[in-house]
Structure 1
Amino acid sequence: MNVPARQTNSLAVVSLVCGILGWTLLPFLGSIIAIICGHMARSEIRRSPATQEGDGLAVAGLVMGYLVIVFSVLAIIAVILFFGGLAAILAFAGAGH
Structure 2
Amino acid sequence: MNDTNRTSTLAVISLVAGILGWTLLPFLGSLGAIITGHMARSEIRRAAGTVDGNGLAIAGLVLGWGSVVVTVIGILLAVLFFGGIAALLAWLGLSGQLG
TM over 0.5: yes
Q: How many residues align?
A: 94
Show the counterpart of 2:93: 94
Is structure 2 residue 20 aligned with structure 1 residue 21?
yes
Percent identity, aligned pairs only?
Answer: 60
Structure number having the greater helix percentage: 1
Show the counterpart of 1:6: 5
Distance in 1 between residues matched to 2:48 and 2:62, nearest whole Å: 21
Distance in 2 between residues matched to 1:23 and 1:4, nearest whole Å: 36
Distance in 1 between residues matched to 2:30 and 2:37, nearest whole Å: 10
Matches within 5 A, 1:1-97: 2-94=1-93
Question: Superposition RMSD on alpha carbons, in Å?
Answer: 1.2
Query: Gaps spanning 5+ residues in structure 2: where?
Result: 95-99
TM-score if structure 2 supplies the norm length?
0.90
Local SS of the residue matching 2:92: helix
Distance in 1 between residues matched to 2:15 and 2:5, nearest whole Å: 19
**Mean Cα deviation higher: 43-52 or 16-25:** 43-52
> 1:3 offset after TM fit, Å?
4.3
**Mean Cα deviation higher: 54-63 or 85-94:** 85-94
